[in-house]
Amino acid sequence: MSDTTLHLRTILVAGKDPKRSEEIAGILTEELAGVIAVPEALKDMEADAVKSTGQRNFPKAKDNGILYLTDSPAFHERVRKQGQACACFTDDPGSSGDFPGALYLLTEPEWVDLDSYEKIYERLSGLPWTITVTERLIIRELSMEDFSDLMALYDDPEAKRFLAGPLQDKALEKENLSRYIRQVYGLYGYGYWAVEERKSHSLVGLAGFQGKLTDRGEAELGFLVRKDKRRQGIATEICRGILAFARKALPFTGVIATCDPDNKGSAAVLTALGFRQEERAIKKTDNGVEEQPPVLYYVLDEFHPQMV
């Protein structure tokens, strides 16, 4: 079950040693179905199609399907400054300091799998990662193209009853979204994700985990579904999908959720997912007395993380 598109089409291996480049490209072409790996002589790439400015005239950067792979810090810096997707490799694990600004530094790049290379390419090209696909939904990272749909999702009067705060100025909200995309996914490896309907490709919700874990190593689950898609099992389907992903791929010891006592719909979803309500005090008064929070706490006992 997959509606995901393979963006990566070509890996150009531009190593300082032509024989090593040929070796890497040959193995990758055999191992990565649907992707062509081509060895490129570094000196030719640096000299060919060079403008009077001394800069290579690279293809258009945004999703051109090309990932450059190099062990030359100078070449990486040049390609990166022109907005190209470029990862580095080294045969010396102790040389990480030689590649300033490199987001990815690979050892044994010929044995990196296709899914990892696709994710490297997407991250370097500013494309959202697909997290998981369910029967009706695609759960993926947010992009700036989601902004208008997100504002409509937040602006629903029923949803506003349970959101943390009012919407801010749209320009500020747009900057907040841009910062979130740039910083949170790369830092934590998770966050809140867009929920896209497979049939219509429209945004029908938002779901995921808050970045900061509890002292026990638990992540807090949150979800919001578009008004016209509620009471159709969408929220339960979303959460089952991302909980399955979290068990396999995220470093959580458990999952919790908070719910307003008046939010009967979300409480029903949490119960259906196997969460149980738990009494928790989350802050103390000046006298050291624990206060019960104005929300209900739910804990998923049967999380069973596979990574921990």
Residue spans of the domains in the chain: they are: 10-125, 130-300
CA distances 115 to 31, 32, 138, 218, 240, Å, are 12, 9, 17, 27, 22
Asked whether the predicted pLDDT for residue 229 surpasses 80, the reply is yes
Mean of the per-residue pLDDT values of the chain: 85
pLDDT digits (tens, 9 = 90+) for 44-94: 655 543 333 344 444 555 568 999 999 999 999 988 888 899 999 998 877
Asked whether the predicted pLDDT for residue 202 surpasses 60, the reply is yes
pLDDT at 55 (0 to 100): 47
CA–CA separation, 222 vs 44, rounded Å?
Answer: 51
The torsion angles phi and psi of 171, rounded to 5 degrees, stand at: -65, -40
Q: For the chain, how big is the Rg over CA atoms in Å?
A: 23
The correct CATH number of 10-125 out of 3.30.310, 2.60.120, 1.10.10, 3.40.50 is 3.40.50
Fold for the domain defined by 130-300: Aminopeptidase (3.40.630)
Asked whether the predicted pLDDT for residue 143 surpasses 90, the reply is yes
DSSP readout, 5-58?
Answer: -----EEEEE-SSHHHHHHHHHHHHHHSTT-EEEE--HHHHHHTTB-TTS-B-P
CA–CA separation, 283 vs 291, rounded Å?
Answer: 6
Among 77-91, 105-119, 233-247, 274-288, the minimum mean pLDDT is found in 274-288
Whether 223 contacts 193, CB under 8 Å:
no
Q: What is the pTM of this model?
A: 0.81
Assign residue 74 a region (left: φ > 0; alpha: ψ between -120 and 50; beta: otherwise). Answer: alpha
pLDDT digits (tens, 9 = 90+) for 158-186: 877 777 655 678 899 999 999 999 999 98
Q: What is the mean pLDDT of residues 101-115?
A: 92
Of 292 and 88, the structure prediction assigns the larger pLDDT to 88
Asked whether this chain's domains 10-125 and 130-300 adopt the same fold, the reply is no
